[in-house]
Amino acid sequence: MAVRSPLITVMANAAIKAARGLQRDFGEVEQLQVSQKGPADFVSTADHRAEAVLVAELQKARPKFGFLLEEGGEIAGADTSNRWVIDPLDGTTNFLHGLPHFAISIGLERDGEPHAGVIYDPLRDEMFWAEAGGGAFVNNRRLRVSSRRSLADSLIATGMPFKGRASHPAYMYMLDAVWGATAGVRRFGCASLDLAYVAAGRFDGFFEFALSPWDIAAGIVLVREAGGTVTDPDGNPRGLKRGDVLASNLQLHEALRQILVEGARRLPLPDAPPPA
């Protein structure tokens, strides 16, 4: 049986407590107050309530840690080495449309590096968790990334651009290259679970651009502790600060990266300016 550290126990308990409200709100989604941060970028009272519960629970357990919050911004902590990075409801658009695919994501950065992560899917009661050096798990089962070596046999996840959200200018060319070289592409609208599913071997790879730190902080730890790798699409593990993410097992990573490079090369060059 997997043994959770005190740190993971604190994170998991906070996620479970926040999930109670999300489960209730999901059943009454039409009554929620909803606003927009930007075009097609929704926030609801469910996000705010879940975030408040997470902050309260984590502050109670680790009062000196700081926070980086999707809704509440940054809260400095006395302990400058440790910072919680939280998305209280990843997959808000799914949630508000009654699609049962969303999660709570809690990451812990230690000295600026991803150290621990919990991603909780409350409707399936799947708790994905990992801590640096301790492996990755879902509930009490050990996780390993897939062992596939051929892109032709691989299932890849992605996140597509939407209204008001900038993405890589060559994204559609990259997507075309990926689905032409793989067994299929899926877009589920919840980046934290996409990364958790890579860690679990359900997806063989995942790529998306312009993600926020709270989308990926927990998932990075999960994939790495499950034996996979996470870099930016240039292959740089330090480039993740931009939010451009490529995750997969070790065998497929370079091949998938090269497919993205090939797709990007298809982007037509802008027309040359007219002569003066």
**SS3 label, residue 135:** coil
- Rounded average pLDDT over 220-229: 98
Query: Does the pLDDT of residue 128 top 80, yes or no?
Result: yes
pTM for the structure as a whole? 0.91
Q: DSSP letter at 198?
A: H
| Domain 6-142 = CATH 3.30.540.10 | yes
pLDDT of residue 46: 83
pLDDT of residue 1: 66
pLDDT of residue 269: 58
pLDDT of residue 36: 53
Site of tokens 């940054």: 74
The rounded mean pLDDT for the chain is: 90
Q: What is the percentage of the chain residues whose pLDDT exceeds 70?
A: 88
Q: What is d(CA 114, CA 107) in angstroms, rounded to the nearest whole number?
A: 7
Give per-residue pLDDT as tens, 47-65: 889 999 999 999 999 999 9
Domain boundaries defined on the chain:
6-142, 151-264
Q: What is d(CA 166, CA 145) in angstroms, rounded to the nearest whole number?
A: 30
Nearest to 62 by CA among 74, 76, 77: 77
Query: Does the pLDDT of residue 34 top 70, yes or no?
Result: no
Q: What is d(CA 160, CA 218) in angstroms, rounded to the nearest whole number?
A: 21
Two tokens, residue 79 = 């302990």
Contacts of 30 (CB under 8 A, 6+ apart): none
**Amino acid, res. 38:** G
Give domain 151-264's CATH architecture. 3-Layer(aba) Sandwich (3.40)
Site of tokens 């609208």: 189
Domains 6-142 and 151-264 share a fold: no
Contacts of 190 (CB under 8 A, 6+ apart): 90, 91, 94, 101, 102, 103
